Amino acid sequence: MPGLEGLAMACQLHAPALEDGAMLYCGLDVSLKQTALCVVDGDGRVVREAKLATDPEVISRFLGENELGCERIGLESGGTSSWLCLELRRLGRPAVCIDARHAAAALQAGFRNKNDRNDARGIADLMRVRSYREVWIKSQESQRRGMLLTARGTLHGQRVALENTIRGLLRLEGIHFPTRGSRFAEDVLERIGESDALHLIIRPLLEARTTIMRQILALDRQIIATAQHDPVCRLLMTIPGVGAHTALSFKACVDDPARFQRSRTVGAHFGLTPRQYSSGEVNISGRISKMGDRGMRRLLYVAANAMMTRGRWSALKAWAMRLAKARGARRAKVALARRLAVTMHAMWRSGEPFRWTKQAEAA
């Protein structure tokens, strides 16, 4: 680890006399390589400013060597924020990760010029007056499971992109084919026939698709094995339509069921509740907000579609079918996806399996 003097750059000291036991608050504006740091006292006066390497040990050592025992250390949510926040907490620093969108309005109103130094000062002031919205930092286990699902989703997207590219190229030759799935490659080769020119163009794309499909299957096996060995995922998979991917993704996204006091809040967390605009006599209820994790929202919709189109009859499916008859199938599937999120959270908290009938629910 390089010395502190080589990593702390443009360090400035503002020297108001600090009283013993004075409260200090720290703001960090984090970027990939460097982090702007600002420490203010209880009256909002700047005590210390510095630009450090984005390294939790460097930041913690700087605060310790300058005897800056901060009440709270704030940093905005971002790509490296969860790692930095967890590491600072491990080092005994009271780090708080705040919502970047919520903080942006306060930072924009507070300073005319936007730069790293002013952002760090603004975040320190938010810590001082406790005007921030804290972001949940997931456990390392949930983050790793989220990485597994993200990797699988990325490969799936690349497979779809390759298939669409092949379709588009062959469409220029007047070749159309609707088949998807396992017979895609065979259909392509059958339709291009003996054309050497098309073989030279299309075969590399088919080989890349085959490789991607092989890796997708490998990741699917990991996801299924992980879900089968997890008691919470096995419990959630008792719901019809909820498979290993949906159950594992739900557990990774929620992380801790105690973070939601009410199960109905989970639907809003995943962006499955309507947007609302109300001002005076105007009261508009629009489409769903689409906030939160997009992949989890998509999986909940897929599970809702599976429940409505196949599988055993249940009280939840009966409710969705009645709603589909009154409001349309698409709205019913969105509403069922929201109800599934609420049901999965309630099952996780209670430890009870899925209830198929209202009589079992009452019991």
CB atoms within 10 A of CB 87: 16
Helices (H), 52-195: 56-65, 81-90, 100-110, 116-129, 140-171, 184-192
- Classify residue 129 by burial, with Cβ atoms within 10 Å: 0-12, 13-18, 19+: exposed
- Integer Cα distance of 318 and 309 in angstroms: 12
Whether 2 has a pLDDT exceeding 80, the answer reads: no
Whether 155 has a pLDDT exceeding 60, the answer reads: yes
| Residue bearing tokens 């600072």 | 88
* 0.75 surpassed by pTM: yes
pLDDT digits (tens, 9 = 90+) for 116-130: 888 999 999 999 999
| Phi, psi (rounded to 5 degrees) for 308 | -80, -25
pLDDT digits (tens, 9 = 90+) for 15-72: 444 555 578 999 999 998 999 999 999 888 999 999 999 999 999 999 999 888 899 9
Strand-pair category, 24-30 with 72-76: parallel
Side-chain-side CA neighbours of residue 353 (13 Å): 8
Band the pLDDT of 279: cuts 50, 70, 90. confident
